[in-house]
Amino acid sequence: MKKTTAWQFAVLCGVPFVMVLGNSMLIPVFPQMKQAMNLTQFQVGLIITFFSLPAGILIPFAGYLSDRFGRKVIIVPALFLYGFGGLVSGFAALLMDRPFPVVLAGRILQGMGAGGTYQLAMALTGDIFQSKERTKALGMLEASNGLGKVISPILGALVAMLSWYAPFFLYSIVTYPIALGVWFLVKEPKHEKATESLKKYGQKLCDVFCQKGKTLLASYLSGMVVLFTLFGVMSWVSDFLESEYKIFAIKKGFFLAIPVTAMALTSYLSGMWLSKQPQWSKAAVIFGTVGATVVLVLTPLFTNIYLFMLILMLLGVFIGSVLPPVNSIITGATKSDQRGIVTSLYGTVRFFGVAIGPPTFGLAVSYGKWAMFIGAAAISAVAALAAVLFITTPPKPE
């Protein structure tokens, strides 16, 4: 990788890094939010949902606009909106007696901004790297996302020592420099831009799915399910560590960082390996989804804190082994003028997985820990079966 390209890629890696703070940084603060705003476990999960749903809904439109007008002109304003939404939530919590509705409104704004960021960074990376380096770069991009997940629970717990709402203000502090870096440092390569109307563009998308639909849909399902599992489990674990093991604050942040560290490291290593062995992409997806299924079934058996964290670490490993090959399969399935919308649709299902994870686990735990984990394992098993039946080895990069 050339030095100039490395600088551009470093800035692009900042985009998924700050995006993952949008949810992961708040998970260790859930118990404090729950107490401060007098919320139920389901309601506190909506803080994730109200961010992720608008992001997922808007991602395809952002993808269409990026294919038509360029990636940067969408990414940069979206980053600024993301930071502004954090300020709205933060000031609502600071100034209002009953801030929950306005906090959710700020989260909606953040989600709208998030809809035009990470998946377009993936598409822009796919535009910049046109060789064997693409799979490696996408693996590093996913690893940056994972690094954000590693740091965010510790960072969230640390900042929350000032106040439970302090993490909201941090979003603009870390996001605005990244936005400026993307605008001034990243050179967007020329590629064939879409010129069709939205109707014709939709028809082109239908054509893509007619040709690659089974592989794309199975890949989408795998990515959605593992993130549903990750955020559902982690939101439950945040409360469980306090209620069952009396682990709080920074110490809890480090405990929560264990599975996501395993996920991030696995994402990086699997991305590096698959860049040299792309024919194993399907096998990697199957390995990860099957492994996650087994771990979810076994998790309720472990009550010792160290064994409990070990099994969660294994869950992180299996989730981390799924995401880079799914990224590679999806970005490699289409041409550059279609890549934005296809990767953006993937972003939609990823965000939907994140959105429904915490409130679903919050409702399911009322039926007992075993029911919650067995149900999650069944969903993971469906994703594994879809991968076996429908995913095909991706073609060589353009």
- Give CA–CA dist 354/226, Å, rounded: 9
Residue 1 pLDDT > 80, yes or no?
no
What pLDDT, on the 0 to 100 scale, is given for residue 258?
93
Q: How confident is the model at residue 63 (pLDDT cuts 50, 70, 90)?
A: confident
Which token pair is 70? 């360029």
Looking at per-residue confidence, does 393 or 244 come out higher? 244
Burial of residue 140, with CB atoms counted within 10 A of its CB: 0-12 exposed, 13-18 middle, 19 or more buried: buried
- Cα 19 → chain centroid: 8
Q: How confident is the model at residue 125 (pLDDT cuts 50, 70, 90)?
A: confident
Residue 398 pLDDT > 50, yes or no?
no
pLDDT for 174-205, tens place per residue? 999 999 998 988 888 776 666 666 677 677 77
DSSP-assigned states of every residue in 264-300: HHHHHHHHHHHHH-GGGHHHHHHHHHHHHHHHHHHGG
Residue with structure tokens 């598409």?
Answer: 123
Burial of residue 124, with CB atoms counted within 10 A of its CB: 0-12 exposed, 13-18 middle, 19 or more buried: buried
Residue 318 pLDDT > 60, yes or no?
yes
Looking at per-residue confidence, does 296 or 126 come out higher? 296
C-beta atoms surrounding 357 within 10 Å? 28
Highest mean pLDDT among 1-15, 128-142, 309-323: 309-323
Architecture of domain 3-390 in this structure? Up-down Bundle (1.20)
Q: How high does pLDDT run on average in the chain?
A: 87
In this prediction, residues 213-223 reach a mean pLDDT of: 92
Residue 155 pLDDT > 80, yes or no?
yes
What pLDDT, on the 0 to 100 scale, is given for residue 333?
72
193: left (phi over 0), alpha (psi -120 to 50) or beta: beta
Cα–Cα distances (Å) from 180 to 121, 123, 346, in that order, read 14, 19, 26
What pLDDT, on the 0 to 100 scale, is given for residue 102?
97
Answer whether 392's CB lies under 8 Å from 333's CB: no
pLDDT for 269-290, tens place per residue? 888 888 788 888 999 999 999 9
Q: Which DSSP state fits 301?
A: G
Answer whether 107's CB lies under 8 Å from 168's CB: no
Cα–Cα distances (Å) from 386 to 75, 346, 364, in that order, read 32, 16, 24
Residue positions counted in the chain: 398
Answer whether 75's CB lies under 8 Å from 121's CB: yes
Backbone phi and psi for residue 395, each to the nearest 5 degrees, phi listed first? -70, 165
Domain edges within the chain: 3-390
Q: pTM for this structure? A: 0.82
- Give CA–CA dist 124/187, Å, rounded: 10
In this prediction, residues 101-120 reach a mean pLDDT of: 91
User: ∠ CA 259-260-261 to the nearest 5 degrees?
Assistant: 90
In this prediction, residues 171-176 reach a mean pLDDT of: 93
